[in-house]
Structure 1
Amino acid sequence: MQLVSVERTEEYSTGLPAEPQHHNPQLPASWPEQGWLEFRGVVLAYRDGLPNALDGVSLVVRPGEKVGIVGRTGSGKSTLFLALFRMVELNQGQILLDGLDISTVGLGQLRSRLAIIPQDPFLFSGTIRENLDPCSRHPDQQLLDVLDQCHLSAVVNRMGGLDAEVGERGKFFSVGQRQLLCLARALLTRAKVLCIDEATASVDQKTDKLLQQTIRETFQDKTVLTIAHRINTIMDCDRVLVMQGGKVAEFDTPTALCQSIGTPDLRSSPQFQPAETNSMD
């Protein structure tokens, strides 16, 4: 039984294909400058024999635009992010960021220029400083500034400052506070594109409101893609992307979508009516 871990280590180190390690030396240090995002006929399947998770997705997100993404479970919402971060390579099509095909960019270069707040906030065992800035690229004052922007200064001060331990998987913080720490980490990247994958799914409405307020204030000039869990999350978005079966079902302003389904408010529409858990699914 103890040798199972040895077997798994051997399989992971020798049996799994490695990600491409190429580096684009001609990539400008300031890329992307605008945050213009375009999907062109994107087709993606997780492996051979499975149906397409994305099936001919084409859309354009303008610089600084706030886009809410909704759809049932399995509609392809999270797969859009996996394709953008190149966690899974495309079968067909292109994804352009500021006009540059992301497949020509090294994975390290691409992922360092994007920011994401995951659905399940993950913190490493260690200090707050190590979780915010694992590569030690930013001065302490900058770390304190982003904590203040994310309404965490009082909490961190009570714990003893940046050198306070977060505990295993961040057990010394509540789920909402972990999400705010992930937001602070995203702020430090200064990325032009922020992806939010149902980050408020497991937090209370007060923390949800705090997160949304912070995002609106600190990412005013950034492109923000938000997979929505609560309807209130997307009501102030510039446009809403409705995914269905791996395809783009609708992509328009909340007002236009209200008119298309014949209701003055998305909150009162049966199509967008949340379940008992307030989930878009």
Structure 2
Amino acid sequence: MATLITQLIYITTTVVNYSHSDSIEQEAASEIPENRPPPEWPSAGAIEFKDLSMRYRPDLPNVLRNISLSINGREKIGIVGRTGAGKSSITLALLRIVEFAGTITIDGVDISTIGLKDLRTKVAIIPQDPTIFSGTVRTALDPFSRYDDARLWDALRRSFLVEGSSTDRITLDTLIEVGGSNLSVGQRSLLSLARALVRDNQVVILDEATASVDLETDKKIQYTIQTEFKGKTLICIAHRLRTILTYDRILVLDGGNIAEFDTPLALYRNNKGAFRSLCEKSNITESDFGT
């Protein structure tokens, strides 16, 4: 239990910092001039993990153990497993928030060889509990003033944070209090989704993005994911199994190891498999797969 609490504290602190910074104090170099990826990288978003192992501190056990798998470009992958299985650790490794042993490549580029800014500006993350700093909706969407207002408005509408004209209650100049306390949980989630749409990255990570939102907001998020992230490589750490039944493949983690990795229906049809067990606990039957 103590180890799990330590991991959760580490994850919360580092993801909050990542969301509003290109680098974190005492991390590796932000840029490596002699080894920068091409401007269009990544174009497909193919990801390969080879012998990936990771721990949060030298005195703690590995939370990922010799993970090796390949994700095709533009593939939709769901990641499931019990608490402590290593789901969020995959996210931290992909963003190099925690350094690791082994290799991760994206479109053939070893992410350990490039600067953190070059990596993190090309991977979008929609965290489970978005932390919004004080400012305005504009600064929350575009903290480094890289995009014009038209692009920001477009993202607000596509994410359903704004429905209708610019006369709606939320505008780019709407003030946001510390922690987004004047926004609902659903609005904070949609704002995080809009930020990912603004960046338009080829690789998108959803870390249990629907775990704490109401049903109506969940529907909006799922619709946006299905329509706006077509052609993207999408990795979803799933809280609700039903949201990933149409994904290309599902990775089941157990104790930091790969337990299963296959199409949703193939996993379900394995009567003795871990995914089948999870489905049965959620009252999911084969008819839910749309076969």
More off after superposition, 166-175 vs 235-244: 166-175
Q: Is the 8 A contact 1:230 1:274 kept in 2?
A: no
Q: 1:136 to 1:114 in 2, by over 3 A?
A: same
Match of 1:272 in 2: 279
2-structure distance, mates of 1:160, 1:89: 39
Over the matched positions of the two proteins, sequence identity in percent amounts to: 47
Alpha-carbon distance, 1:232 to partner: 1.1
SS at 2:196's partner residue?
helix
Structure 2 Cα separation of the partners of residues 17 and 158 of structure 1: 39
Match of 1:83 among 93, 97, 104: 93
Task: Give the match for residue 107 of structure 1.
Answer: 116
Match of 1:158 among 158, 164, 168: 168
Deviation at 1:262? 6.8
2:66 pairs with 1:66: no
Partner of 1:20: 28
- Give the secondary-structure state (helix, strand or coil) at the position aligned to 1:158: coil
Alignment match, 1:135:
144
TM-score of the two chains, using structure 2 as the length reference? 0.83
- Aligned residue number for residue 259 of structure 1: 269
Alignment partners' CA distance in 2, 1:97 and 1:183 = 22
Q: Deviations along 1:169-205, whole A, 9 cap, x unmatched?
A: 1122211111010011011111110000001111122
Q: Which residue of 1 aligns with 2:48?
A: 38
The code of the aligned residue for 1:118 comes to: P
Shift of 1:243: 0.2
Report how far residue 47 of structure 1 moved. Answer: 1.4
For residue 8 of structure 2, what is the aligned residue in structure 1? none
Aligned to 1:119: 128
- Tell me how far apart the structure 2 counterparts of residues 274 and 171 of structure 1 sit (CA, whole Å): 35
**How far has the Cα of 1:154 moved from its partner?**
3.5
- Larger deviation: 52-61 or 18-27? 18-27
Is the Cα contact below 8 Å between 2:241 and 2:282 reproduced in 1? no
Q: Distance in 2 between matches of 1:123 and 1:270?
A: 36
Distance in 2 separating the partners of 1:80 and 1:161: 35
Aligned counterpart for 1:246 among listed residues 256, 263, 267: 256
Counterpart of 2:161, as a letter, is L
1:138 match: secondary structure:
coil
Distance of 2:30 and 2:143 partners within structure 1: 23
Gaps of 5+ in 2: 1-23, 284-291
In our comparison, the structure showing a higher alpha carbon Rg is: 1
- 2:117 and 2:147 mapped to 1: Cα distance? 19
Q: Determine the structure 1 residue equivalent to 2:7.
A: none
Q: How many residues align?
A: 256
Relative to structure 1, the CA distance from residue 173 to residue 236 in structure 2 (aligned partners, 3 Å threshold; closer, same or farther) is same
Q: How far does residue 108 in structure 1 lie from its aligned partner after superposition?
A: 1.0
Q: How far apart are the structure 2 equivalents of 1:257 and 1:206?
A: 29
Distance 2:102 2:41 in 1: 21
* Cα displacement (A) at 1:121: 1.1
Task: Please list, as runs of the form range in 1=range in 2, the aligned pairs for 1:203-218 lying within 5 A after superposition.
Answer: 203-218=213-228
Q: Per-residue deviation at 1:273?
A: 4.0
- Shift of residue 23 of structure 1? 2.0
Aligned mates of 1:127, 1:97 — CA distance in 2? 33
Shift of 1:22: 5.2
Unaligned runs of 5+ in 1: 1-15, 277-281
Match of 2:181 among 171, 176, 181: 171
Q: What root-mean-square deviation, in Å, do the aligned CA atoms of Structure 1 and Structure 2 show? A: 2.0
Alpha-carbon deviation of 1:46? 1.3
- Secondary structure of residue in 2 paired with 1:162: coil
Distance 1:262 1:17, change over 3 A: closer
Q: Report the 3-state secondary structure (helix = DSSP H, G, I; strand = E; otherwise coil) of the residue aligned with 1:177.
A: helix
> Whole-Å Cα distance in 1 between the matches of residues 160 and 204 of structure 2?
19
8 Å CA contact 1:39–1:94 kept in 2: the answer is: yes
